[in-house]
Amino acid sequence: MKWLPYVLINARNFVVSGSALLHGMIHTAGLDDARHDGDPASVFHAHGNSAAVKTLSRKHADRLRPAYHAERG
């Protein structure tokens, strides 16, 4: 995958859990808005509770892993 040398994050919509960066990375891995998760606890939910602890599902971790040459543990 080719990655751009930057990421844009809306500081006015900061998420306490820190999940905004992961959410954006999942978008860059090729998932569009129509594919958001239905689980509000997911980092890839369209309108989750920003104060809640977020989870990164295995399917999204598997999409991100090749971009960082990471191995499944």
pLDDT of the residue at 9: 66
End-to-end CA distance of the chain: 22
Tokens 């960082």 appear where? 68
Higher pLDDT, 73 or 32: 32
Residue 42: how many CB atoms within 10 A of its CB? 20
pLDDT of the residue at 7: 62
CB-count exposure of residue 27 (10 Å: 0-12, 13-18, 19+): middle
**Per-residue pLDDT reduced to its tens digit, 4-62:** 666 666 666 666 666 777 888 888 887 777 888 888 888 888 876 665 678 888 988 88
Closest CA to 27 of 5, 60, 72: 60
pLDDT of the residue at 1: 60
Kindly report the pTM of this predicted structure: 0.65
pLDDT of the residue at 67: 73
Give Cβ neighbours of residue 18 (< 8 Å, ≥ 6 apart). Answer: none
